[in-house]
Amino acid sequence: MQKQLTAIIEREGDGYVSLCPELDIASQGKSVEEARNNLREAIELFVESASASELKDRRAE
SS3 51: coil
> For 4-54, how does the pLDDT look when each residue is reduced to its tens digit (9 = 90+)?
899 999 999 999 999 999 999 999 999 999 999 999 999 999 999 999 888
pTM of the predicted model as reported, rounded to 2 decimal places: 0.85
pLDDT given for residue 1 in this prediction = 61
CATH of the domain spanning 8-60: 3.30.160
Domain range annotation of the chain: 8-60
The residues, ordered by sequence, that sit 6+ positions from 38 with a Cβ below 8 Å of its Cβ are 18, 27, 28, 29
